[in-house]
Structure 1
Amino acid sequence: MYDVDLLEGTSERIKMKQLAIQTCVNMIGRIISQSEFRVKKNKETIKDELYYRLNVRPNKNMSASFFWQTVVYKLIHDNECLIIKSATDDLLIADDFDRVEYGVVEDTFKNVTVKNFTFQRTFTMNDVLYLEFDNENLSKLIDSLFMDYGSLFGRMVEFQKHKNQIRSTVDLETTGAKDPETQRKLQSFIDRMYQAIKEKTFAIIPQQKGFTYTEQAASSGASVDEINKVSNGFLDHVAKALGIPVALIHGEMADVEKATRNMMTFCIDPLLKKIKDESDAKFIDKKEYLAGKRIDIKRVSYSNMFDVATSVDKLRSSGVANGHELRDAIGLEQMDDPILDKFVITKNYQETNELEGGDK
């Protein structure tokens, strides 16, 4: 009657919270990890050490895709992410650090820890890539939202377990029940009987004199569909807070192109802009930047060149864009062919007074 194991909290359903955050953050991380980081100068891609670090091997222990996926996870989950450069030019993601803020001079970072190693030096803001997420209170929002949803979710799970639980009683008529050895043998028999009922589809229980086993009727409770609705409701709120269309989270196919475009515009592009701005400021000095050197991030496209072939042909043949502009728009690098610099008009695009007949 007083066993504390019988008292189980219903609000600590942390799995639902972890699943929602992991689903949303991993979706964003997978998309951004497919981006290509280009170092450009006057529209020409420079494939140097920085290009290799950003796209192939940022450090000795991480691939570029896993590196950027980790950056996105820490940025969203912790609301900040610190990337430092080691003495061997490796890009390392800090697991822990202390930030000292100043008003008119650069902030500093002390006790920077990467896994099991803590740097003794102090990093200045100009030495690191420091990223902050948009919503400062996102973690607090998720935590407060989870307090309500988690309590409701936990209670419904308990109801469902209670609904499908096998409950029974055992009546004993014996004069030797108080004997310790008899009690041990009887308890062992009851435990094996319960285990057989729990695990086997078909269980046979021997009937004995003075021993009666009776199952009780199960009570009603929440259905599995109702539990899923509560879990999906929490997931939807987390997705909306991160700018992810709810339809994409649930894998709905209706208007998937429109939902994908919205996610790229309102979720992925703002994050890439943060990374680009910080990279431009830290990897490229002011003189080089004003001379035309840039970090250009080419995110993964939800359409390929064959999907936009007709539109590309129309833009090219009408003289709206030249070849280089179109190649850049569809993610291709520029070429040395001079014909791509020219604007061309085909299919008799001309003014009406230049047509044959003159009066038309």
Structure 2
Amino acid sequence: MYDFDLIEDTSNRVYLKRLAIETCVNMIARTISQSEFRVKKGKDVVYDEFYYRMNVRPNKNQSASQFWQTVVHKLIHDNECLIIKSDSNDLLIADDFTRIEYGLVEDIFKDVTIKNYTFQRSFRASDVFYLQYSNEDVSRMITGLFSDYGELFGRMFEFQKYNNQIRSTVDLENVNSKDPETKRKLQKFIDDMYDAFRKKAFAIVPQQRGFVYEEKSNRASGASVDEINKVTNGFLDHLAKVMGIPPALIHGDMADVEKNTRNFMTFCIDPLLKKIKDEFGGKVIEKKDYLNGERMDIRRVSYRDIFDLASAVDKLRSGGIYNGNELREKLGDERVDEPILEEYVITKNYTETIEGGDKE
């Protein structure tokens, strides 16, 4: 009996951490994967190989949405993501690589591995797209935060199980414990009895001579299920704040949903899109082309319905602040070749002078 394992260490509830991380990361990944990545020359969008790779089929095995979701997952989980361009113009996400940093010349990436293939050649920084999520390793921060929350959650969870556990003892009299067959029959009877108590609403167990079963269950006061959920939500809230996600948005609260969505797009999605825009724009667009007006542009998903903005758009147009094509760009649509949309118009009520007279 001294060899029995009576204590089980269950404080390390890894699934709590995985659940919280995947909830936050998937929310960011789903949002970014709906963006449109493009290059603009002046007012025109360039539809070329780069546009196709970024928005339709980056490589032979992934669609654009799958590709960008994978990028976001690696970027947040590993704090960095390396994307290389193959000889066939495919964009490939590296699973593993070694970065050699230099102060005055380009960094070198070697031992680049994609699934089961490792490149024998090295890549210069100008030949790849390298994204870094934060100066601090987010994974280390999450692990440190989880060490306390995981232990607390594990203890509360185990106490709740203990509080509802059926405990019993069995007294045996005149049983030959050295007889293997007797021990086997006795153990089978105890197992069958336990299964009957655990699985059936009504269980009838025959009494045996020399066999006394007694329950020792005693409900104790402890953490309720609601308190356990509060610990889970507390860890999720801290993790969401680290990533710039309003906790109310994670929990699906409907109060101030527009305000929380705006904060999510401003403080979480836009900074990530800015990193992508700067990295890809600096590698795809030459310096002379950039100075001539060529730009990397990312059109992210809109969280407001166009019809909700109709009144505001009408004011901007009728007040002469924007012309029609500029408003189309603000709304996420492309310009159209229509002369009237290039004109600035001011309605009559905006032309009145301060004295109230009409301006001729």
TM-score if structure 2 supplies the norm length? 0.95
Aligned to 1:233: 234
**Is residue 2:58 matched to residue 1:49?**
no
State the distance in 2 between where 1:271 and 1:320 align.
Answer: 30
Letter in 1 for 2:270: D
State the distance in 1 between where 2:357 and 2:245 align.
Answer: 55
Q: Following TM superposition, by how much is the alpha carbon of 1:149 offset from its aligned partner in structure 2, in angstroms?
A: 0.9
Would the aligned equivalents of 2:131 and 2:279 in 1 still touch at CA under 8 Å?
yes
How big is each residue's C-alpha offset from its partner over 1:239-272, in whole Å with a ceiling of 9 and x where there is no partner? 1111111110111111010011011111100000
Using the TM superposition, name which of 67-76 and 200-209 deviates more. 200-209
Q: Following TM superposition, by how much is the alpha carbon of 1:350 offset from its aligned partner in structure 2, in angstroms?
A: 1.2
Aligned to 2:277: 276
State the distance in 1 between where 2:219 and 2:238 align.
Answer: 32
Aligned to 1:167: 167
**Is residue 2:136 matched to residue 1:136?**
yes
Aligned to 2:19: 19
Letter in 2 for 1:56: V
Which residues in structure 2 correspond to 1:181-330 (within 5 Å)?
A: 181-220=181-220, 221-330=222-331
SS of 2:308 mapped into structure 1: coil
Q: Following TM superposition, by how much is the alpha carbon of 1:179 offset from its aligned partner in structure 2, in angstroms?
A: 2.0
How big is each residue's C-alpha offset from its partner over 1:42-77, in whole Å with a ceiling of 9 and x where there is no partner? 121111111110001100111101111111111111
SS of 1:82 mapped into structure 2: strand
Letter in 2 for 1:226: E
Would the aligned equivalents of 1:11 and 1:147 in 2 still touch at CA under 8 Å?
no
Aligned residues: 358
Which residues in structure 2 correspond to 1:78-97 (within 5 Å)?
A: 78-97=78-97
SS of 2:34 mapped into structure 1: coil
SS of 1:352 mapped into structure 2: coil
TM-score if structure 1 supplies the norm length? 0.95
Q: Following TM superposition, by how much is the alpha carbon of 1:233 offset from its aligned partner in structure 2, in angstroms?
A: 0.8
User: Cα distance 1:15–1:202, how it changes in 2: closer, same or farther (>3 A)?
Assistant: same
Using the TM superposition, name which of 349-358 and 201-210 deviates more. 349-358
**Is residue 2:345 matched to residue 1:344?**
yes
Aligned to 2:100: 100
Would the aligned equivalents of 2:168 and 2:213 in 1 still touch at CA under 8 Å?
yes
State the distance in 2 between where 1:312 and 1:4 align.
Answer: 74
Letter in 2 for 1:307: D
Would the aligned equivalents of 1:33 and 1:68 in 2 still touch at CA under 8 Å?
yes
Would the aligned equivalents of 1:13 and 1:153 in 2 still touch at CA under 8 Å?
yes
How big is each residue's C-alpha offset from its partner over 1:3-62, in whole Å with a ceiling of 9 and x where there is no partner? 464332233111111111111111111100000112211121111111110001100111
Letter in 2 for 1:268: I
Using the TM superposition, name which of 242-251 and 130-139 deviates more. 130-139
Using the TM superposition, name which of 206-215 and 50-59 deviates more. 206-215
State the distance in 2 between where 1:20 and 1:357 align.
Answer: 62
State the distance in 1 between where 2:212 and 2:321 align.
Answer: 89
Gaps of 5+ in 1: none
Would the aligned equivalents of 1:173 and 1:211 in 2 still touch at CA under 8 Å?
yes
State the distance in 2 between where 1:165 and 1:178 align.
Answer: 31
Letter in 2 for 1:43: K
Gaps of 5+ in 2: none
Letter in 1 for 2:289: E
Give aligned-pair identity as a percent.
68
SS of 1:335 mapped into structure 2: coil
User: Cα distance 1:301–1:160, how it changes in 2: closer, same or farther (>3 A)?
Assistant: same
User: Cα distance 1:4–1:256, how it changes in 2: closer, same or farther (>3 A)?
Assistant: farther
RMSD of equivalent CA atoms: 1.6
State the distance in 1 between where 2:64 and 2:305 align.
Answer: 23
User: Cα distance 1:135–1:153, how it changes in 2: closer, same or farther (>3 A)?
Assistant: farther
